[in-house]
Amino acid sequence: MSLLSLAFMGREWLADAVLYEIYPQSFADADGDGVGDLRGVIDRLDHIASLGVNTIWFNPCFASPFVDAGYDVSDYLRIAPRYGTNADMAELVDKARSRGIRVLLDLVAGHTSIEHPWFQQELAADGPSAEGDRYIWAAELPDSAWALDQPGTPAWVRSPGPRPGWYLKNFYDQQPALNFGWINGSSSQPWRDAIDAPGPLRNRQALKDIIAHWLDLGVAGFRVDMAFSLVKDEELEQGYVETVALWWEIRSWLETDYPDAVLIPEGSEPRTGGELAFDADFFLVIHDAHASLFNNQFAGRLPFQEPREPFFDAAGKGSTKPFLDAWAVARDGHPDRPIILATADHDFDRLSCGPRTAEQLGAALTLLFTWGSIPCLYYGDEIGMRYLPGLPNVEGSVCDPGYNRAGCRTPMQWDDGPNAGFSTADPARLYLPIDPDPARPTVAAQQDDPASTLNLVRELIALRQATPALGTRAPTRVVSESYPFAYVRGDSHLVVVNPRREPATLAVDGAEPVWASGIAARPGELRVDGFGYGVFTVPA
């Protein structure tokens, strides 16, 4: 057994995790300024605990000018004042821990805000730093325009001075890329630092310092934004080998100093032939594996998304093949690799989007909590909050004409009071508008309704935690790839979901219901109503 395999035993808790993603601007506003805050989360910890989740993942909480909703960090070591203080985060971590809940933070590793002191210091200089530049500067505009940036905008931004030249960005112009070096050097392009040059080494150490600061405060680890955007050029050259090696260096340090801390990437970790540095893969909502199941065109479509009917659609025209193929690729050579599958997230749509109704959510949620992935519940999905189209561009939410992220970032709906219980502020001051539908779902309305989405989620999480066969460690065997979709977990439990409007049948003997809706057992088969779902025991 390798050193990493032995060390992973300290992070075994992740295999049993049920994550809950909180977009802090929109969860709960305790001070009445219209924007969510940490005190609001503290006040709502009992709700989070009541779901049965055991890990909170926060989107960035650090100081920021919020050009990109906090993904443009101006101080990694300080909580953004609008959310509270570092002491508030420490209190939240402590009170969450008392309820059996860990806290993960979002680490923006590849870029900062232009307002970060590091950038301001280099911007004020008339040339490269003697200690090594933390950012990537070119005296002349480079010919190459590649980079991870906003679609359709140049990768290089002219310096606003006094430093002459251009800087490389990662997304918006206000997000300069940190310098972790390049694969290919060039005498004609001296800004292409080697990965072991002083600037890149300074940034590697800074990453460790940032991580240690928050781990010492009590957080359990990090989800790393754009984790593989660090070393430049290598996606064109050798498949992220050097960036994975960089994270492996950080992982090796963590094994000694913080062996229980987890690292989760944005997306899937590239397979480079060596041991993996991260603790899981993340099937992002905007990427094909997830999109092929749930995303419809109502929330838009990104250039890399294939136009197709999602499998979880009433018309029943979708396919599970893209998802199953992606799952097989991620597990190839790593059969026990945890994979996170979310209900939704802060970057696209929600399960309740467009024509998809509350009646259709049960089948989707059943899959997400029983497939064998680590489930991640996006705030509000426990009550079936809907994606709202056509919202204004707030803090960079509209970064492409067909890609409006504001619709999945609206305030949490707690009750039928003013602003749905999210805030006491004037509605005009809210971070984003409340869903205007008078019939919008709320926690209060669903709390004591046994047929509600809220209680369905609670039941599913409880069932998962009480049934090892439904967790991440048990094998999964697909027995029907179409409608209904059906799979056996752990050789003992059959899960059946029918996302389409039309009924379906599944040939099976000896299935006994454990938890089901809209499924009738007949000799030799199960008849599954439209939108039916269930979990059954089956003979070994």
- For residue 19, what are the β-bridge partners? 55, 376
| pLDDT at 144 (0 to 100) | 61
H-helix or E-strand containing 515?
strand 512-522
| pLDDT at 3 (0 to 100) | 38
**What's the CA gap between 198 and 351, in Å, rounded?**
46
**What's the CA gap between 406 and 176, in Å, rounded?**
23
Single-letter code of the amino acid located at 51: L
| pLDDT at 306 (0 to 100) | 76
List of the chain residues with pLDDT < 70: 1-10, 144-152, 235-238
What is the secondary structure of 288-328 as a DSSP string? HHHHHHH--GGG---TTS-----SSSTT----SHHHHHHHH
What is the secondary structure of 410-463 as a DSSP string? PPP---SSGGGGS-SS-GGGSSSPPP--TT---HHHHTT-TTSHHHHHHHHHHH
- For residue 168, what are the β-bridge partners? 156
| pLDDT at 401 (0 to 100) | 77
| pLDDT at 153 (0 to 100) | 79
- Whose tokens are 């136009």? That residue is 307
Q: How many residues does the chain have?
A: 540
Domains, the chain: 3-108+280-464 (3.20.20.80), 475-537 (2.60.40.1180)
Listed in order, strand segments (DSSP E) in 119-198 are: 137-138, 156-158, 166-168
| pLDDT at 4 (0 to 100) | 41
If phi over 0 gives left and psi between -120 and 50 gives alpha, with beta otherwise, what is residue 196? alpha
Listed in order, strand segments (DSSP E) in 47-161 are: 55-58, 62-63, 75-79, 102-108, 137-138, 156-158
| pLDDT at 146 (0 to 100) | 52
Closest to 111 in 3D by CA, of 162, 148, 159, 151 = 148
| pLDDT at 7 (0 to 100) | 40
| pLDDT at 490 (0 to 100) | 97
| pLDDT at 478 (0 to 100) | 98
For 249, the 3-state DSSP assignment is helix
**What's the CA gap between 306 and 325, in Å, rounded?**
15
Single-letter code of the amino acid located at 403: Y
| pLDDT at 304 (0 to 100) | 73
Residue 159 tokens read as 């310096």
- 203 phi and psi angles, rounded to 5 deg: -70, -35
- Whose tokens are 């004409």? That residue is 401
For 88, the 3-state DSSP assignment is helix
**What's the CA gap between 189 and 526, in Å, rounded?**
66
Write 26-29 long-range contacts (CB < 8 A, 24+): 26/379, 26/409, 26/410, 26/411, 26/412, 26/422, 26/431, 26/432, 27/379, 27/411, 27/412, 28/412, 28/414, 28/422, 29/411, 29/422, 29/423, 29/424, 29/425
- 198 phi and psi angles, rounded to 5 deg: -55, -40
**What's the CA gap between 403 and 407, in Å, rounded?**
10
Strands 403-404 and 262-265: unpaired
